C-alpha cells in the first residue's frame, strides 16, 4: 500500500466527517476512484486507536 499527499479537494471518507481529505491510501491495483481518502485529523485519531489495539495484542501474546 502507499500513501499519497493530496492536492485535489476531495472529502474525507470517514463517516460524516466533512473535512477535505489530506491523504489518499492506495492499495496495490486499486483504481484511483476507489482509494481511501482521509483528512489529517481522522488519520491522527485512527493512528491513536489502532496503536492502542495493536499494542494490546502484542502484550497479550
Binding site for Zn ion (CB under 5 A): 12, 14, 17, 19, 39, 42
CB nearer to Zn ion: pick between 19 and 26: 19
> How far is Cα 36 from Cα 3, in angstroms, rounded to an integer?
10
Q: How far is the CB of 5 from Zn ion (least distance, A)?
A: 15
C-alpha cell belonging to residue 25:
491510501
Residues 6+ apart with CB under 8 A from 36: 13, 24, 25, 26
CB nearer to Zn ion: pick between 12 and 24: 12
Q: How far is the CB of 41 from Zn ion (least distance, A)?
A: 6
Amino acid at each position: 500500500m502507499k500513501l499519497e499527499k493530496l492536492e485535489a479537494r476531495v472529502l474525507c471518507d470517514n463517516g460524516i466527517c466533512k473535512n477535505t481529505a489530506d491523504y489518499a491510501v492506495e492499495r496495490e491495483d486499486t483504481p484511483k476512484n476507489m482509494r481511501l481518502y482521509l483528512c489529517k485529523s481522522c488519520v491522527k485519531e485512527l493512528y491513536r486507536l489502532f496503536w492502542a489495539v495493536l499494542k494490546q495484542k502484542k502484550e497479550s501474546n
